Structure 1
């Protein structure tokens, strides 16, 4: 009999609707309890709370703390990089979550969208992000 999970997990997506492979992750955990299943802690209710928290970010430091907490608590890697065409607006940023077994397709869409909304509301975060990562040189001069 497999060991009981130490926390409530996200309800599995309908077959064919998602490629999260949650069942495979749980099977791997049953074989080896050292398998990282932190991502399964992100239930739909927790996801809604996380989106609200992301949208409430008001500084570059808070964004960095969120990135670190996502990794520490859920194993999610959030990356924000400029597009190849440069950054003129928030749309010029590539905001992605790293591929990860157990990470729902819906979550991979919702979290970057929440970050984009936050950055659109607080352009000073975008400037701080580009400055801290030494990417301001990539912004073309405005006419």
Structure 2
């Protein structure tokens, strides 16, 4: 007897644009994102708030992609970057990814960068914005 893992509960009608129903209707759909329950999301956000360095952030990006199918791109914005607000977070379109989760992940990473500015500096340097300083 196989038991299915718990799936994320549906958002209230009109509160989200995750298209969960469309995902569940498609038999070939990748349902990994629905494994991110609210409890698991809280654990993920806590982990993202306590990043150690840029390599740790990159490992977490890789794990998000491997385990949940979430593709997150992080790069400096087009304008001048004076605070962590100048760093852009872009999610590839993915059915099942809740609007609140799309907001909470970047917020957790920004809090981590504020606690440990070295992460933001290394990110900027990896895009050659500090000019090798």
Same fold per superposition (TM over 0.5): yes
Cα RMSD, aligned residues only: 1.6
Identify unmatched segments of 5+ residues in structure 2. Answer: none
Structure 1 segments, 4+ long, off by >3 Å, are none
Instruction: Look at both structures and tell me which one has the larger radius of gyration over its CA atoms.
Output: 1
Partner of 2:26, secondary structure, is: helix
Alignment of 1:6 onto 2:4: yes
- Residues 17/5 of structure 1: CA separation in 2 closer, same or farther (3 Å cut): farther
Distance in 2, Cα, partners of 1:14 & 1:20: 11
TM-score normalised to the size of structure 1?
Answer: 0.84
Partner of 1:109, secondary structure, is: helix
CA contact (8 A) 1:55 1:117 kept: yes
Equivalent of 1:121 in 115, 122, 126: 115
In the TM superposition, residue 74 of structure 1 has moved relative to its aligned partner by 0.3
Equivalent of 1:21 in 19, 22, 25: 19
Distance in 2, Cα, partners of 1:107 & 1:70: 12
53-62 or 82-91, which deviates more: 82-91
How many residue pairs get matched? 130
Distance in 2, Cα, partners of 1:88 & 1:45: 34
Instruction: Find the counterpart in structure 2 of residue 140 from structure 1.
Output: none
CA contact (8 A) 2:52 2:116 kept: yes
